[in-house]
Structure 1
Amino acid sequence: RQKELDESLRRLNKFIQENNTKKQQAELKAKEEKLQATQLDESIRSLLLYTKNLRKRLSMLKVEVKHMGRFGQFLESVLEVSEEFNTVEDVLKRFETLKTTNQDLASRSNTAVQRNEAAKKELAQVRMSRDDDVMQLNTRIAQVLHTLDDETTDLSPEESLDKQLSSAQDALVGVSACYLGIDNLYSRVRSVTTVPRPLETETEAKLSRIAFFIQDLEAILQEVRRTEQRDRDKERERERETQSQTK
């Protein structure tokens, strides 16, 4: 009898252990499935949001395609009335060429403006410096002559001559500085001029050459501005034609 009870107790304990093991396994599996379900829910929400964004992007692209369609029609109409272009790509290439040319002209215009302004400032500085030097030299010469008149009465002829030579040398230093400034500006003008011209030696001729260079820069600048204005007028005319054809 006792053996039967012991055997029953052993089987009961074994059954309980097996059930506990199965329970733990079931709980672990349930946790894993719950975690997978949570991850799947997050993936679904992410995919739904991605799909929503794609649909929104698709709607925007449809609107853009519809909006750009009239430009395609305009390009096709250009091919019908113009023998210069064979395909739409030719028209677009021509547009890119004109756009690049316009940018190049704008860059050249800015460069010409900067060079013109720099040359004007430098010429103004040279003229101002020259006028100041001339005024100072005239004042200095007058002072020296006045001083010489006062001092030469008490000096010997040799001493008087030395005094005059020293004063004249001081005056020539200022004149030389003025001439060097003119020569420097003249050299810069010749360095950027492509048209060969004989080398001027007279100061007045150099100043005239500098003035002509500034006038040429101003003429180039005006021509560039006129070209840019014509391009803008043509662009506005094309836009009006496009709007008219679209309507």
Structure 2
Amino acid sequence: MNLCATMTLEDKEVFQMPEQKEDHLPSAIRLLERRREFSEVKQALATKKEEFQLKMERLKQRRVELERKELQFKESREKFDKFLQENDQKKNRAIKKAKEERIIKKEKDKEIEILLEECENLNMECKRTKKKQDAYMMYNAFMLKTLSATKEFNETRDIIARYETLKSTYNDLWEANQINQEMIENIKQNDARKTQEKNNEILGYDKQLSTLLMSLETCQNEALFLESKWSHIWKTTSQAAAKSQQIKMATLNMFNVIKAHQRKLTPEDITTLQQLDHIRIFGEDLITITKTISNPEHHRQEEISVAR
């Protein structure tokens, strides 16, 4: 790598172009100068090429020598690795054997400890059994006294059987009592739940009742308002009817006066509007007559203008 780097730097130095001459030289002189520089560069390149070939040859020889030494080193390393591997195998076998022996020793020691512990436990169990036996001798004496005192039981096992029966009966009764207690608790829970549901229903009905009472009060207020409005309408209608009746009576009286004054035959079933129409016509005629009497000259001119 260093040789290649050195050669690269030298080649760069060889191929550096000479400095440019001044531009005022003639072209022929510049051409000759260029040719001279080219021949110098070519000669330097050939020299460098020969040097490069020599260096490559030396590198090749060195490479062959390195490969030979590398092969020798590889063979030596393989032999050494094989030697180390054999030593490791021997060492591993020795370690494995020692480890197995230690494991066997530990297992044996553990078995000895277990056996010693079991022996100790058996001794303790034997002592406890002896104590129980001594304690139960009192009950045996009591059972023998009971058998001698009563004729109901013939043997000790009969007393034990009776005790087991009573104990079983007690357990059954206790379980039945537990079941009954659970049933009672369930009934209480159901009763409480139903009571809560009924209370909720009562609250709902109370809310509905409050709503209905409010609606009833609203309806009553509306009814009172409508009754007062109806009373006002009835009063107004009654007053209007009375006024209408008064107007009809006044109209009929005026119509009868006009009828007596005109002395004309009129139908009997004439309506109030028709009577008012007759009164209007009579009034207009009366106004015309009054104007004629008060201003006859003006009336004559009007008759002349109407005639024309």
TM bucket normalised to smaller:
0.3 to 0.5
Larger Rg: 2
TM-score (normalised: structure 1)? 0.39
